[in-house]
Amino acid sequence: MNPRCVSVDSNLCRSLSAVGQVGLAVDSRGDVALAGHVFEDGSGFVDGRRDAIVLKLASADGSTLWTRNIGVPGSHDWSSAVATDRSGNIFVGGQTDGNLFAPWTEGDGQDIWVAKLEGEGGGLLWGYQVGSAGQDMASTLTVQSGVLEGDVIVCGSTTGGLFENPGGVFESGSSGETEEKGNKGTKAFCARLAASDGHVVWGTRFKGGSNNEILAAAVDPLTGDVFAAGYISEAGGSDYVVARLNGHDGSETWRSTGGGGWMNNGFTDTNVRDSACALAVDWRGDVIIAGNTEGALFSSTYRRNCGVREAGGWDGTRAASQMSLAVGVRLPPP
C-alpha cells in the first residue's frame, strides 16, 4: 500500500510523486495529521515551485477530512514537522526560501516557519517566520503541556546566526565555554514560540563539534522542560546527544552523549556515525531514545527479529560500514 495516496485526491497523488519527508501526529480523537510537501505538476494545485501541505485524515476509515497547502509563488516551501495540542489545533513547521509569512525578510537564506491551524477545517490561526542569512531548517516540533500549556517547541539546525546572543556567542551550554560567531558549520537550535501568535519566547543554540543537529524533541509535562536529541560531529564521525533544557528560559540543564564516534574514542575513530533520531519521555520523566549507528554502539543488544541477546551491533550481524536505523519511538499511556 502506498501511504502517500490513501484517501487523497488523485491530483494530489500525482503531485506527491516527488514528495520528501512526511511528518505525522495523532490528535486526542485519533484523527491523523500529515505534513509534507508537493511539487507543481501543472494542475494548478500548488502556489509555488514547492508547497508545504497539511492533511487531516479520519481515524475511522482514513478518509480525507481536509487539506491545506502553504506556500507563496516562486518559492520552495516545505515541511516535515507536525504536532497537535489538547484542543485539537495543529501546528506545522518547515522551511522557506521566500517571504511566506510577511513581513519577515532576512538576506538570501532559508528561514524556518511555524503555523497554527484549526483542527476543524485547517483554517490558519497564525504563521510566524524567523531566520538568518544562512540556511535554517526546522526538523521537529512539539507542543508544551502542563505549566506552559500550548506553547510550541521547534528545533533544528542553522548555518547562519539564528538565535545567537548579542555578544556573538552561542547561548546554550552548561559548561560556560564560548564559541565565536565565525565558527563555520551546522549548529543545532531549539526555540519556544508563544501559543498566542508564534513570537519567539526564547531561542537556544548548542555548542560542541563542527556540526550538530537536533532531530527530535519532547516535553516533560510536569516541569515544562524540553528534551532534545540528535547528533554532534567532528572529522567525519558523530555521536548521539541528548540535552535537557529549562522550559522557561531555554538554559541547558544537562547533556549526555554516547557512541563510537570522535567524542568517545579520543578523536581516533572518525568513521563511525551515531545519531539519535527519535525521543520520548515516560511518566517518571525518564528519556527513551532511538536512532542509528554504523558501528557496535552497545556491547550487547536484542536482535530485532527474535529477541536473542548478542554482542556487537543492533542484530549482531551487520558490518560496521552498514547502518541500523530507527526513526520513531512511542510509549503507551501510564
Q: What is the pLDDT of residues 165-224, one digit of tens each?
A: 633 333 333 333 333 444 468 889 999 999 999 989 999 988 777 788 899 999 988 889
Question: Does some domain include residue 11?
Answer: no
Alpha-helical runs (H) found in 25-109: none
Query: Does the pLDDT of residue 322 top 50, yes or no?
Result: no
Q: Considering only residues 300 and 96, tell me which one the structure prediction assigns the higher pLDDT.
A: 96
> Quick one: pLDDT band at residue 1, thresholds 50, 70, 90?
very low
Q: What is the pLDDT of residue 184?
A: 60
Query: Which triple of cell numbers denotes residue 186?
Result: 551546522
User: Could you write out the DSSP letters of every residue in 260-285?
Assistant: SSTGGGTT---S-BEEEEEEEE-TTS
Q: How many Å apart are CA 4 and CA 16, to the nearest integer?
A: 7
Grid cell 484517501 in the structure block, residue: 7
- Measuring CA to CA, which residue among 302, 288, 296, 298 is closest to residue 319? 296
- Measuring CA to CA, which residue among 94, 60, 67 is closest to residue 8? 67
Contact of 222 with 182, CB cutoff 8 Å: no
The number of residues making up the chain comes to 334
Domain that holds residue 59: 18-325
> Quick one: pLDDT band at residue 330, thresholds 50, 70, 90?
low
What pTM was estimated for this model as a whole? 0.77
What sign for the dihedral angle of Cα 50, 100, 36, 288? Answer: positive
Q: Considering only residues 248 and 71, tell me which one the structure prediction assigns the higher pLDDT.
A: 248
Kindly report whether the peptide bond that precedes residue 333 is cis, defined as omega within 30 degrees of 0.
no
Question: Does some domain include residue 95?
Answer: yes
Q: Considering only residues 246 and 175, tell me which one the structure prediction assigns the higher pLDDT.
A: 246
Q: Considering only residues 32 and 257, tell me which one the structure prediction assigns the higher pLDDT.
A: 32
Q: What is the CATH number of the domain that holds 30?
A: 2.40.128.630
Q: What is the pLDDT of residue 105?
A: 53
The mean of the pLDDT values for the chain is 73
Question: Does some domain include residue 10?
Answer: no
Question: Does some domain include residue 4?
Answer: no
Question: Does some domain include residue 188?
Answer: yes
Q: How many Å apart are CA 256 and CA 281, to the nearest integer?
A: 15
217: amino acid identity, one letter: A
- Rounded percentage of the chain residues whose pLDDT exceeds 70: 66
Query: Could you give the angle at the alpha carbon of 163 between the alpha carbons of 159 and 167, nearest 5°?
Result: 105
Question: Does some domain include residue 264?
Answer: yes
Q: How many Å apart are CA 216 and CA 232, to the nearest integer?
A: 14
- Measuring CA to CA, which residue among 245, 151, 137 is closest to residue 193? 151
Question: Does some domain include residue 330?
Answer: no
Domain count of the fold of the chain: 1
Q: What is the pLDDT of residues 139-150, one digit of tens each?
A: 999 999 877 888
Q: What is the pLDDT of residue 17?
A: 40
Question: Does some domain include residue 5?
Answer: no
